């Protein structure tokens, strides 16, 4: 198969769909890899790295899209990229179609087959191509929160680990899933006093069994949450209700109960955020102040550490990318129901029910698409 990887063009996106190591494996499997010049630059990979891996480097995205059988990317194709997709071409990337009717209509019109990273599943009910980015955002949250707490940034001027004779920062993490667990581990590693709130008892049992002594757990009742938030130096928002907007768990009125200069890091901002006062920010201007509480609400946190994120994403996508290239998408999806769960669009038809429901578009079963 001829695999193509263009440079990401969404603003502030520095990741790349294929690492040199992924390109090397694809070439070893007998495939052809074409990369747009400079595509890996934001993640610290040179064109030479890809050439050494056996890829061909071309100047323009047009050349990549015109020749490749499968396009491997990171972000959803932008309008100008969607115009370059063609019938029968395979697209493997994050899509997030449900809130994006324009993109959905363009993909349907293109006739391409699109497999979305975010809906590929695994045998434990997880989302293996989303998890690495949650791991990155989770581990980054205490790091950016610690920076936000610094006086020059409007913060409380509290050091995460304290020093001998001075108490460490109190960190409260709301939501103990992938983001929350990684945030709690790193915050605890920095020496902070950490409590994770969740509403799932099985999840808290798991956290307690695994991390007892590293951080505490507490049930996320409204009362408990209010009490812990009021005592915190940093609160990390990490809740997710699959398929729904994040619940607002901390109101604006509650900010007045918090310590002046405390930091909120709302990682769940990509689902609307779990604080009433959260609004999405960018890496250029990441923090803002509401009632003396500093908010960090960057919607694409992994972009700040593009190299780590690219490699983590590449590790997770590589087996699927190779299966698609080795077998073709029909056989690869027929063999693996978890990959089949990623199929969102085929030949002008939607194949993912939740997207169809959100956008009011008819859907065909993915199994039917395999036969078309
Ligand atoms: N901003 C970014 O750059 C970025 C990057 C990655 C992930 N995210 C977002 O972070 C959020 C968390 O992702 P995740 O992968 O950890 O999800 P996850 O499903 O692994 O974890 C979510 C947790 O929230 C808990 N929860 C649900 N409702 C709750 C409530 N009312 N109170 C307390 N806990 C509650 C669940 O029990 C679960 O343990 C998602 O919105 C995700 O999209 C954002």
DSSP 160-189: TT-BTTBPPPEEEEE--SHHHHHHHHHHHH
* Alpha carbon of 203 to ligand 1 centroid (Å): 12
pLDDT of amino acid 12: 86
Return mean pLDDT, the chain: 96
For 301, the token pair is: 């946190």
Whether 96 sits among the annotated catalytic residues: the reply is yes
pLDDT of 245 strictly over 90: no
Distances (CA, A) of 62 to 58, 94, 170: 9, 20, 51
- Among protein residues, the one whose CA lies closest to atom 39 of ligand 1: 177
Mean pLDDT throughout 127-147?
Answer: 97
What does the pLDDT look like over 310-325, one tens digit per residue? Answer: 999 999 999 999 999 9
Is the model more confident about 114 or about 299? 114
Distance spanning both ends of the chain, measured CA to CA: 20
Determine the atom of ligand 1 nearest the C-alpha atom of 267.
Answer: 1
pLDDT of amino acid 155: 98
> Which residue in 2, 47, 69, 96 is the catalytic one?
96
* Alpha carbon of 352 to ligand 1 centroid (Å): 22
Mean pLDDT throughout 35-41?
Answer: 98
Determine the atom of ligand 1 nearest the C-alpha atom of 133.
Answer: 6
pLDDT of amino acid 92: 98
Q: How far is residue 200's CA from residue 275's CA, in Å, rounded to a whole number?
A: 20
For 111, which DSSP code?
Answer: T
Mean pLDDT throughout 136-141?
Answer: 98
Residue with tokens 């945030």: 183
- Among protein residues, the one whose CA lies closest to atom 20 of ligand 1: 177
Q: How far is residue 68's CA from residue 237's CA, in Å, rounded to a whole number?
A: 40
Mean pLDDT throughout 241-252?
Answer: 86
pLDDT of amino acid 128: 97
Q: How far is residue 6's CA from residue 63's CA, in Å, rounded to a whole number?
A: 9
* Alpha carbon of 123 to ligand 1 centroid (Å): 19
Residue spans of alpha helices (H) in 190-305: 201-211, 222-231, 252-255
* Alpha carbon of 363 to ligand 1 centroid (Å): 28
pLDDT of 244 strictly over 90: no
For 131, the token pair is: 């998890």
* Alpha carbon of 277 to ligand 1 centroid (Å): 18
* Alpha carbon of 127 to ligand 1 centroid (Å): 12
Sheet harboring 234-237: ordered strands across? 216-219, 193-198, 170-174, 234-237, 263-266, 293-296, 287-290
- Among protein residues, the one whose CA lies closest to atom 10 of ligand 1: 268
Residue spans of alpha helices (H) in 84-177: 101-110, 131-148
Determine the atom of ligand 1 nearest the C-alpha atom of 303.
Answer: 3
129 band by pLDDT with thresholds 50, 70 and 90? very high
> Which residue in 266, 270, 295, 346 is the catalytic one?
270
Q: Which of 96, 137, 179, 286 to mutate to test the pocket of ligand 1 (most atoms within 8 A of CB)?
A: 179
270 band by pLDDT with thresholds 50, 70 and 90? confident
- Among protein residues, the one whose CA lies closest to atom 6 of ligand 1: 134
Residues with CB under 6 A from ligand 1: 133-134, 137, 174-180, 197-200, 203, 220, 238-241, 246-247, 249, 267-271, 299-302
pLDDT of amino acid 31: 98
Number of Cβ within a 10 Å radius of residue 46: 13
Is residue 93 classed as helix, strand or coil in its secondary structure?
strand
Sign of CA dihedral 44, 48, 50, 56: positive
pLDDT of 243 strictly over 80: no
Which residues make Cβ contacts (< 8 Å) with residue 41, sequence separation at least 6?
none
pLDDT of amino acid 241: 84
Determine the atom of ligand 1 nearest the C-alpha atom of 301.
Answer: 3
Q: How far is residue 90's CA from residue 70's CA, in Å, rounded to a whole number?
A: 4
Among 353, 348, 351, smallest CA distance to 370 is for: 351
What does the pLDDT look like over 325-349, one tens digit per residue? Answer: 999 999 999 999 999 999 999 999 9
Share of the chain above pLDDT 90, in %: 94
167 band by pLDDT with thresholds 50, 70 and 90? very high
pLDDT of amino acid 11: 85
What does the pLDDT look like over 66-111, one tens digit per residue? Answer: 999 999 999 999 999 999 999 999 999 999 898 899 999 999 999 9
pLDDT of amino acid 272: 87
Q: Which of 225, 228, 240 to mutate to test the pocket of ligand 1 (most atoms within 8 A of CB)?
A: 240
For 363, which DSSP code?
Answer: B
Whether 291 sits among the annotated catalytic residues: the reply is no
Determine the atom of ligand 1 nearest the C-alpha atom of 299.
Answer: 1
Give Dmax (Cα) for the chain. Answer: 70
* Alpha carbon of 167 to ligand 1 centroid (Å): 29
Q: Which residues of 276-314 are buried (b: 16+ CB within 10 A; e: fewer)?
A: ebbeebeeeebbeeeeebbbbbbbbbbbbbbbbbbbbbb
Residue 25's region, left for phi above 0, alpha for psi from -120 to 50, else beta, is: alpha
Mean pLDDT throughout 171-199?
Answer: 98
For 92, the token pair is: 């493997």
Q: How far is residue 262's CA from residue 213's CA, in Å, rounded to a whole number?
A: 25
- Among protein residues, the one whose CA lies closest to atom 11 of ligand 1: 268
pLDDT of 222 strictly over 80: yes
Mean pLDDT throughout 213-240?
Answer: 97
Q: Residue 354, Cα to own-chain centre: how many angstroms? A: 19
């Amino acid at each position: 198969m001829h695999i193509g990887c263009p440079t990401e063009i969404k603003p502030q996106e520095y990741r790349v769909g294929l690492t040199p190591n992924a390109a090397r494996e694809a070439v070893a499997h007998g495939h052809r890899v074409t990369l747009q010049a400079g595509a890996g630059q934001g993640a610290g990979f040179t064109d030479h790295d890809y050439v050494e891996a056996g890829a061909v480097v071309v100047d323009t995205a047009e050349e990549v899209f015109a020749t490749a059988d499968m396009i491997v990317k990171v972000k959803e194709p932008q309008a100008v990229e969607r115009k370059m997709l063609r019938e029968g071409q395979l697209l493997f990337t994050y899509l997030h179609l449900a809130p994006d009717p324009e993109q959905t209509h363009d993909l349907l019109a293109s006739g391409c087959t699109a497999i979305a990273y975010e809906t590929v599943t695994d045998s434990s009910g997880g989302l293996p191509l989303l998890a690495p980015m949650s791991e990155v955002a989770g581990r980054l949250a205490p790091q950016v929160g610690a920076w936000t707490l610094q006086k020059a940034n409007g913060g409380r001027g509290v050091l995460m680990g304290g020093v001998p004779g001075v108490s460490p920062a109190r960190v409260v993490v709301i939501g103990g899933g992938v983001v929350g667990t990684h945030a709690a581990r790193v915050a605890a590693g920095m020496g902070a006093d950490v409590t994770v709130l969740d509403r799932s008892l099985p999840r808290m049992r798991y956290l307690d069994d695994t991390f007892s002594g590293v951080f505490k757990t507490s049930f996320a009742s409204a009362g408990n949450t209010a009490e812990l938030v009021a005592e915190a130096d940093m609160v990390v928002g990490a809740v997710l209700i699959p398929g729904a907007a994040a619940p607002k768990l901390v109101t604006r009125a509650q900010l007045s109960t918090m310590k002046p200069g405390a930091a909120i890091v709302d990682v769940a901002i990509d689902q609307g955020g779990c604080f009433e006062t959260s609004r999405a920010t960018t890496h250029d201007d990441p923090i803002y102040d509401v009632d003396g509480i500093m908010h960090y609400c960057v919607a694409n946190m992994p972009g700040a550490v593009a190299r780590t994120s690219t490699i983590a994403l590449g590790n997770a996508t590589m087996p699927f990318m190779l299966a698609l290239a080795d077998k073709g998408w029909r056989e690869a999806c027929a063999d693996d129901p978890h990959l089949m769960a990623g199929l969102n669009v085929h030949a002008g038809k939607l194949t993912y029910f939740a997207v169809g429901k959100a956008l009011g578009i008819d859907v065909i079963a993915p199994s039917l698409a395999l036969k078309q």
